[in-house]
Amino acid sequence: NAGVMQNPRHLVRRRGQEARLRCSPMKGHSHVYWYRQLPEEGLKFMVYLQKENIIDESGMPKERFSAEFPKEGPSILRIQQVVRGDSAAYFCASSPATVGRGTEAFFGQGTRLTVV
């Protein structure tokens, strides 16, 4: 049973380009969470999705950022017109149900985005 797979592991984009980050959750997991880690900072919540639904996007910038988790295929975090401040590590986690008293999330290894 493969873990949470994120790709690419490293992504370099020029300012103004689009970045697409993919997350394939563990088999059987229908809940996906995206977190961003800025240099010298902790994991900041961005968005929580279930299949075809955005549950909570309160941590995601209103402009240029979007996320989806379609019925088939991976979850995608899309950043349009990237700027230098978007450079960070982006982590995806999945769980079979909402995280809670009996359920923890499983993390991918992250995508390190560098905007040049």
Partner 1 sequence: ILNVEQSPQSLHVQEGDSTNFTCSFPSSNFYALHWYRWETAKSPEALFVMTLNGDEKKKGRISATLNTKEGYSYLYIKGSQPEDSATYLCAFLSPTSGTYKYIFGTGTRLKVLA
Instruction: State how far the alpha carbon of 32 is from the alpha carbons of 15, 17, 116, in Å.
Output: 28, 25, 29
Least Å from the CB of residue 99 to partner 1:
6
Least Å from the CB of residue 104 to partner 1:
4
Give the residues across from 11 on adjacent strands: 113
Q: Which stretch binds partner 1 (CB under 8 A): 11-19, 66-74, 75-83, 107-115?
A: 107-115
Binding test (CB under 8 A) with partner 1, winner from 56, 70, 73, 78: 56
Instruction: State how far the alpha carbon of 101 is from the alpha carbons of 23, 95, 104, in Å.
Output: 24, 12, 8
Pairing of the two strands 88-95 and 111-115: antiparallel
Least Å from the CB of residue 34 to partner 1:
11
Where does this chain bind partner 1 (CB under 8 A)?
3-4, 33, 35, 41-45, 48, 55-56, 58, 91, 93, 98-102, 104-110
